[in-house]
Amino acid sequence: MKSLANIAGCVDDIMATCGDHPELLVQYLCRIQWRYNCIPPEAIELLAVRLGLPVAHIRGVIGFYAFLHETPRGDFNILISDSITDQMLGSRALLDRLCRQLGVQAGVARADGRVTVDTTSCTGMCDQGPALLVNGFALTRLDVARVDAVAALVEAGTPVQDWPAAFFAVEDNIRRRDRLLNAPRSTDGALRLFLQQGADAMLETIDRSGLRGRGGAGFRTASKWRFCRQAPGGRRYVVCNADEGEPGTFKDRVLLNSFADEVFEGMTLCAGITGAQQGFLYLRGEYRYLLEALESVLARRRSAGLLGRDILGRQGFDFDIAIHMGAGAYVCGEESALIESLEGKRGIPRKRPPFPVTRGLRQQPTVVNNVETLFAATCIARFGADWFRASGTEQSTGTKLLSVSGDCVRPGIYEYPLGVTVGQVIEDCGAEHAQAVQLAGAAGTIIPRDEFDTRISYEDVDTGGAFMVFGPERDLLDMVRNFVHFFAHESCGFCTPCRVGGTLLKNLVDKVYAGRAGEYDLQKIRDICRLMRDTSHCGLGSATPNPVMSTLEKVPSIYRRRLCTSDYEPAFDLEAELEEARRITGRDDSGAHIGRET
């Protein structure tokens, strides 16, 4: 077990590194978790005193995030990605094998405290899965040999930093480049043009480009920047949303790995236009392995005069960026939940209005943009609105990065002009026999084969970029089940329909899957879906029904073929419920079983 020595010293160190403010609570907790594999009670008490926060508040924050724990995890905390694409690559069998080899039960730390093996939501390695996180670091391309090697390293107690580097290799897998990924590289081209042209002209360029948010919501980027710029308020903030949690999406991982300068430059450009002086990159916990590299890009930009005071010599152009870690919460990809998390709190989406552009971080005007949006903005600033508009359609200008995974020969990143057909992508990625594509991740919609002429665009079917391919042998109900389990796990729990409805929906889909549902259950599923869609507090709750409703509509057979004939089936299995009574009475005769009486 990890030594719990010197907790006070550790807290002191962390506060010295990160700063000393209650808003940094999640950042402190992440680092304490990294160090001790749990948040020890002494650390909670120390933080409570140092930050002036109630102990229950801190415990509530720990309880919210999947990667923070009050009870110790093993010294080796192994989390296997449970995304549907990882499952399709055999992750569950590998999980079982790893558990068997290590003699652990999934989710329970081994008695000697050496190891915990568990599942986690999509880790964003769908193009090179099955993947896992070991003590927060991504390990890719699991197979039997690699699982056996992992088990041996754990048993030998080899520190993770001494494991073979090849295990942690994360490839970009860029398969198709278009104008954004092909653009000549630069670290400051956009900022230099901004300083020449001025904020108004640059905002006009972004506006004319027609760029819309690449996270999935599709709000016009220039409008967001303008609203923030014009909003009354003192300080302004720019936040880059790198909480890429949508299952099947991994484009931001690639951009942060290989195009971080452009992303940070986009934030700086936004700051120049809106007047923000502070920016944050909110990096999902799963991308912990990128942290040091991103910090060094920031350091390089500071020393090059691209961040800090008087950027590129322009007096009064002050802006800097801090990286905040997420800690395992999909809902923090919702911009107001992300802001709550940045403020050190549970990631509960705020009520809207007001929107972050008028009252965001610290109640000040805040722009929250997706990684790809900021990357595109930098390119637009450099090459102009017309250059960008030359690709795409009228309402959906430019190109979009797609994260292609699942049953295809060439999974990876594909940059296409918006308006590309699903069929074109299918052809390019090598998936000619695909029966369906799930577009836009768990919150998206199913595109069956006969709709492959669908165009990916804001006019037709919108996406944040996830493109999961399902081959002819797949049972799409496995996918639906995976997604409803995911949403139930990721619901923040704030509002009734998502908190309760999400679990009821999950249980009903499981009932269908088990072959124990009737027509009445399908009706109930539809009713819950409608209620969640119409009454949820935020987009997570209202999107949870999407995979269910779209498959019920387009591929109803995946449900129908599993229905039992009766109209109504109770939620419980009466025969199974009698097991406890049989055990107590020691009976196993035919009279102790339903339907076996002779």
Partner 1 sequence: MSEANRFSLDGKPVEFQPGDTIMDAALRAGNYIPHLCHNPEFEPHGSCRVCMVAVNGREVSACTWPAAPGLEVESASETIRQQRRSLVQMLFVEGNHLCPACELSGACQLQAVAYYTGMLDPHFTHQFPRRAVDASHPDIAIDFNRCILCELCVRASRDVDNKSVFALSGRGIGSHLIINSPSGRLADSDFAATDKAAQVCPVGAILHKRRAYRVPIGERLYDRQPIDIVGDVAAQDEQNHDG
Total binding residues toward partner 1, as defined by CB under 8 A: 39
108 near partner 1, judged by CB under 8 A: no
CB of 354 to partner 1, least distance (A): 10
Task: Return the number of the residue (382 or 537) whose C-beta is nearest partner 1.
Answer: 537
β-strand partners of 117: 78
- Comparing CA positions, the residue from 123, 47, 131, 65 lying closest to residue 95 is 131
- Interacting residue with partner 1 among 446, 490, 529, 546 (CB under 8 A): 490
Asked whether position 346 contacts partner 1 by CB under 8 A, the answer is: yes
Binding span for partner 1 by CB under 8 A among 357-365, 491-499, 553-561, 590-598: 491-499
Which CB sits closer to partner 1, 281 or 348? 348
569 near partner 1, judged by CB under 8 A: no
Q: Give CA 499 to chain center in angstroms.
A: 19
**Window of 18-26, 79-87, 418-426, 528-536 that interacts with partner 1 by CB under 8 A:** 528-536
CA separation for the pair 3, 485 (Å, rounded)? 35
Tell me how far apart the alpha carbons of residues 273 and 194 are, in angstroms, rounded to a whole number: 9
Both structure tokens of 470: 């399902």
Q: Which of 203, 178, 576, 69 is nearest to 415 (CA)?
A: 178
Q: Which of 491, 546, 550, 551 binds partner 1 (CB under 8 A)?
A: 491
Residues 6+ apart with CB under 8 A from 382: 183, 186, 189, 190, 193
Both tokens assigned to 385: 């609105």
**Smallest gap from residue 125 Cβ to partner 1 (A):** 24
- Contact region with partner 1 (CB under 8 A), list: 357-365, 403-411, 522-530, 560-568: 522-530
Segment 470 to 489, residues that bind partner 1, using CB under 8 A: 488-489
Q: If residue 520 lies in a helix (H) or strand (E), which one and from where to where?
A: helix 519-535
Is 559 a binder of partner 1 (CB under 8 A)?
no
DSSP 187: S
Question: Tokens at residue 241, please?
Answer: 């949303």
d(CA 77, CA 592): 44
Is 437 a binding residue for partner 1 by CB under 8 A? The answer is: no
Q: Is residue 421 within the footprint of partner 1 (CB under 8 A)? A: no
Of 532-551, which residues contact partner 1 (CB under 8 A)?
534-537
| Binding mask of the shown chain, residues 287 to 326, with x at each position contacting partner 1 by CB under 8 A | ----------------------------------------
Closest CB to partner 1 among 59 and 179?
59
Single out the residue of 220, 235, 449, 499 in contact with partner 1 (rule: CB under 8 A): 499
Distance CA 226, CA 19 (A): 31
Q: What is the 3-state secondary structure (H, E, C) of 207-224?
A: HHHCCECCCCCCCEHHHH
Residue 397 DSSP SS3: strand
**Closer CB to partner 1, 173 or 358, in the complex:** 358
What's the min distance (Å) between Cβ of 483 and partner 1?
15
Per-residue HEC secondary structure of 301-328 comes to HHHCCCCECCHHHCCCCCEEEEEEECCC
| Residue placing its CB nearer to partner 1 in the complex, 360 or 501 | 501
Q: Which helix (H) or strand (E) element contains residue 437? A: strand 436-439
Q: How far is the CB of 215 from partner 1 (least distance, A)?
A: 22
DSSP 77-121: EEEEE--HHHHHTTHHHHHHHHHHHHT--TTS--TTSSEEEEEES
> Binding to partner 1 (CB under 8 A): which residues in 36-95?
54-57, 59-60, 62-64
Using the rule CB under 8 A, give the single segment among 164-172, 241-249, 346-354, 582-590 that binds partner 1: 346-354
Is residue 358 involved in binding partner 1 (CB under 8 A)? no
Which amino acid does the sequence have at 594? I
146 or 537: whose CB is closer to partner 1?
A: 537
Instruction: Closer to partner 1 by CB, 442 or 488: give it.
Output: 488
Minimum gap (Å) between residue 303 Cβ and partner 1: 41
Q: Which residue has the tokens 């009475």?
A: 585
Among 129, 365, 465, 497, indicate the residue that binds partner 1 (CB under 8 A): 497
Residues 419-433 as b/e (b if ≥16 CB within 10 A, e otherwise) read: bbbbbbbbebbbbee
159 lies in the site for partner 1, by CB under 8 A: no
Distance CA 459, CA 97 (A): 46
Q: How far apart are CA 595 and CA 578, in angstroms?
A: 12
How far is residue 402's CA from residue 429's CA, in Å, rounded to a whole number? Answer: 11
Show the tokens assigned to 411: 């999974």
Q: Choose between 507 and 557: whose C-beta lies nearer to partner 1.
A: 507
290 vs 532 by CB, closer to partner 1: 532
Stretch that binds partner 1, among 97-105, 270-278, 411-419, 530-538 (CB under 8 A): 530-538
Q: Which stretch binds partner 1 (CB under 8 A): 85-93, 179-187, 199-207, 523-531?
A: 523-531
Contact 95, 119 (CB under 8 A): yes
Residues that bind partner 1 (CB under 8 A): 54-57, 59-60, 62-64, 329, 346, 351, 353, 488-497, 499-504, 507, 524, 527-528, 531, 534-537, 571
